Amino acid sequence: KQEVTQIPAALSVPEGENLVLNCSFTDSAIYNLQWFRQDPGKGLTSLLLIQSSQREQTSGRLNASLDKSSGRSTLYIAASQPGDSATYLCAVRDTGFQKLVFGTGTRLLVSP
Amino acid sequence: EPEVTQTPSHQVTQMGQEVILRCVPISNHLYFYWYRQILGQKVEFLVSFYNNEISEKSEIFDDQFSVERPDGSNFTLKIRSTKLEDSAMYFCASTGTEAFFGQGTRLTVV
């Protein structure tokens, strides 16, 4: 059974810092991995999608990497801003089934 | 930007009542899902739907729950005889390669 873990659970940084969020998963037979952003009481916004054959994806200040063999992904946020404050969720999609399995998230607070 | 639409955004219901949560998935997607998130907890998979039938369901998705695609656009989750512990945010999603989520329905059972 796929298990997804995210560390740290919470992170507080001053504006402008570069930061790394970590995601690990137990079964490397994945179809793809997605990073989402969730604002309090809101839905899930897709940030980046990495296919199992890819090593990384970039969108603006965000860069996500995938090391499938070791069961790890990282989300790198450059030059953080207060507007980046949210919970970041990692989710993997298994090859056999189509559902996403979510981690518990990293709650990020960027202070001005 | 493709969008999944969910209604209502909030629903308050009395314990024992039936509720229907509605979703309009992205039109050219083939897989549809319901997930839920109890306050402060992980997003949990409930059920997936493909080719007009359930393709997978979790242990949570018992006889209390049912899904339907009554027409070409809507996808519904029915919860019969609601319980206090059904209070959660319910998310609909659809996928091509990438999964897109709706804004959720916050269900409160009182």
pLDDT along chain A (112 residues), means of 10: 95 97 95 95 93 95 96 97 97 84 96 96
pLDDT of residue B71: 84
CA distances from B74 to B45, B61, B89 (A): 19, 20, 19
Between chain A and chain B, the number of residue pairs with CB atoms below 8 A apart is 57
Q: Are B78 and B86 in contact (CB under 8 A)?
A: no
pLDDT of B61: 96
Nearest CB to B95; choose among A45, A98, A102: A98
Taking contacts as CB-CB distances below 8 angstroms, the residues of chain A near B45 are 99-101
Instruction: Please report the beta strands in chain B, taking only residues with DSSP state E, as ranges in sequence order.
Output: 5-7, 10-13, 19-24, 31-37, 43-50, 53-57, 65-68, 75-79, 88-95, 99-101, 105-109
Q: Is A33 helix (H, G, I), strand (E, B) or coil?
A: strand
Taking a contact as any Cβ pair under 8 Å apart, which residues of chain B between 39 and 98 contact chain A? 41-45, 48, 50, 55-56, 89, 91, 93, 95, 97-98
pLDDT at A96: 66
If one counts every other C-beta atom within 10 angstroms of the C-beta of residue B60, the result is: 14
Average pLDDT over residues B56-77: 92
**Across residues B11-40, what is the average pLDDT?**
95
Residue B51 is predicted with a pLDDT of: 86
pLDDT at B101 over 90: yes
Q: Is A49 exposed, middle or buried (0-12, 13-18, 19+ CB in 10 A)?
A: middle
pLDDT at A97: 60
- Give the 3-state secondary structure of residue B29: coil
pLDDT at B41 over 80: yes
User: Nearest residue on chain A to B31, judged by CA atoms?
Assistant: A98
Average pLDDT over residues B60-89: 94
Name every residue in A having a CB less than 8 A away from some CB of B: 32, 34, 36, 41-46, 49, 51, 89, 91, 93, 97-105
What pLDDT is attached to residue B108? 98
